[in-house]
Structure 1
Amino acid sequence: MHLSLDGKRALVTGGSRGLGLAMARAFAAAGARVALAAREEGPLAEAAASLPGSVAVSADLATAEGCERAFVAAEAGLGGVDILVNNAGTSRRAPFAGLTDAEWQADLDLKLFAAIRLTRLAWPGMAARRFGRVLNVLNTGAKAPPAGGAPTAVSRAAGLALTKVLAGEGAPLGINVNALLVGKIDSDQWVRRHAADPQGQSYEEWMRDAGRAIPMGRMGRAEEFAAMALALVSGAGDYVTGTAINVDGGLSPVP
């Protein structure tokens, strides 16, 4: 099956590297024009250079001003936004008792409020065109929050609830809203983790060991995650909304 996004316009947050960049590349290969939003200008410029015709905007999506800046630039550069991928955010995990109000707020601002604000900006145009795709990238902790998983698991669980609320409101308007839940997938985040704790192993060895606990016996690839994202935002996902799909090789205890 050929998955086409010809004529569609996509804004991908956290699009300068890792899963965000993999999704942007998959969308572009399927015919979409893409806009990338991220905070760091260097990686963002490199990512945009690898995607001819893309729009890049540096913005702090943890703020209302940054979200508006990113959306306005994407809409101006692309002529509209048909597909919104809320992917900004990293995994922040710590024992509950040690987390401060500021740390909780920072996590919620980037992972939950950025999705709320950007979707609110994109919603009127999608409704007017009677077509829209919103994809919220969460993690498997949204369904199965582990001990020590705050604040990430809590903000991601809220993102799961947001997905369902929006799906119900968007369905009559032609707007499909879904979530993809990340398990252990080879990305820039794992490169940083290895750098902090190499245990005397090469990255390949370290990743191979990390993948042994997964039922499939290996870590996932960013391209595999991007393929599922493409299916959901393309015509193949026309009758799919309000779902939260684990992309985790069978790791999560919750389907």
Structure 2
Amino acid sequence: MEISLRGRAAVITGGSKGLGLAMARRFAASGADVAILARGQAALEAAEREIRATAQGKVAAIACDVATAEGIQAGHDGAMAALGRIDIVVNNAGASRTGAFETVTDAVWQEDLDLKLFAAIRLTRLAWPQMRERGWGRVINVLNTHAKAPRAGTAPTAISRAAGLALTKVLSGEGAPHGILVNALLVGLIESDQWRRRAEAAGRPLDALLAEMGRGVPLGRVGRAEEFAQAACFLASDAASYITGTAINVDGGSCPIP
């Protein structure tokens, strides 16, 4: 099945690397106009060049800090100036911060919530009125499987991601009468920059690390960013017109909760 996003405009936070970049490439290749938001100017420029190589529409790279209200406003305004509209919001910005509960300070809690929860709330709130007016919209919240199945030692990430799961369900109910579909994609073990950095820090080949990690996955391997991007592209399209309020695990079968 060919997925088309022609005529749609998407904004992706954390879009300069990893899963965000993979989604931006997939969306752009499927016909969408795409704006990526991130902090690092150099990474944004490199990502923009990569996306343009297969893009069929407009591509914009906007430097902003989505962990702040001012940064979200700047990112939204920049996307509107570049694309003229926002039909699809992908709330992807975030990093995996975990530790023993008693070691997590108030500052770390606040930083995590600002980046993962409030960024999604603020950007979605800004784009929501135009989606409602047009009677069509998509919001995809990128979380991880800890949102469903938290374990000891996964604070603050598991808690902020669980809040994102609740946000997804609340928004899906409010958006449904207006044609706005809201879903979450939950990340499992998928190849990303964090695993590349971990391999480099340990002085190990990346392939060896991923192969070791993959042995614990029912499918027997670590996922690819492109596979995650294909799931996101489907949810962003008209092909997913009867799917809302769901949280889909993209984890090779690892999560104990469906």
| Shorter-normalised TM range | over 0.9
Give the 3-state SS of the residue equivalent to 1:50 in structure 2.
helix
Q: Which residue of 2 aligns with 1:88?
A: 93
Aligned residue type for 2:231: M
Aligned-residue offset at 1:187? 1.0
Counterpart-to-counterpart distance in 2, 1:149 and 1:196? 21
Counterpart-to-counterpart distance in 2, 1:33 and 1:112? 25
Aligned residue type for 1:98: T
Give the 3-state SS of the residue equivalent to 2:15 in structure 1.
coil
**1:249 equivalent among 241, 246, 252:** 252
Q: Are positions 1:233 and 2:247 aligned together?
A: no
Counterpart-to-counterpart distance in 2, 1:81 and 1:134? 11
Aligned-residue offset at 1:208? 0.5
Counterpart-to-counterpart distance in 2, 1:104 and 1:42? 28
Aligned-residue offset at 1:51? 2.2
Counterpart-to-counterpart distance in 2, 1:185 and 1:165? 27
**2:220 equivalent among 213, 217, 222:** 217
**How do residues 45-60 of structure 1 correspond to structure 2 at under 5 angstroms?**
45-52=45-52, 53-60=58-65
Instruction: Show structure 1 runs of 5+ residues with no match.
Output: none
Q: Are positions 1:24 and 2:18 aligned together?
A: no
Q: Which residue of 2 aligns with 1:194?
A: 199
Q: Which residue of 1 aligns with 2:5?
A: 5
CA deviations over 1:187-207 (Å, ceiling 9, x no partner): 112112222334xx3111111
Counterpart-to-counterpart distance in 1, 2:243 and 2:28? 22
Counterpart-to-counterpart distance in 2, 1:63 and 1:236? 34
% identical equivalent positions:
61
Counterpart-to-counterpart distance in 2, 1:196 and 1:60? 27
Give the 3-state SS of the residue equivalent to 1:186 in structure 2.
coil
Aligned residue type for 2:164: G
Give the 3-state SS of the residue equivalent to 2:98 in structure 1.
coil
Aligned-residue offset at 1:216? 0.6
For normalisation by structure 1, the TM-score amounts to: 0.98
Aligned residue type for 2:44: L
Aligned residue type for 1:96: F
Instruction: Show structure 2 runs of 5+ residues with no match.
Output: 53-57
Counterpart-to-counterpart distance in 2, 1:4 and 1:118? 24
**How do residues 1-255 of structure 1 correspond to structure 2 at under 5 angstroms?**
1-52=1-52, 53-198=58-203, 201-255=204-258
CA deviations over 1:116-156 (Å, ceiling 9, x no partner): 00000000010011110000000000000110000000000
Counterpart-to-counterpart distance in 2, 1:145 and 1:8? 35
Contact 2:195 2:206 survives alignment (8 Å) = no
Counterpart-to-counterpart distance in 1, 2:207 and 2:51? 27
For normalisation by structure 2, the TM-score amounts to: 0.97
Give the root-mean-square deviation of aligned CA atoms: 0.7
CA deviations over 1:222-251 (Å, ceiling 9, x no partner): 000000001111111111000000000000
Aligned residue type for 2:202: D
Counterpart-to-counterpart distance in 2, 1:249 and 1:217? 8
Counterpart-to-counterpart distance in 2, 1:146 and 1:75? 40
Q: Which runs of 4+ in 1 moved over 6 A?
A: none
Give the 3-state SS of the residue equivalent to 1:250 in structure 2.
coil
CA deviations over 1:56-113 (Å, ceiling 9, x no partner): 1111111000000001100110010000000001100111000100000000000000
Counterpart-to-counterpart distance in 2, 1:60 and 1:126? 24
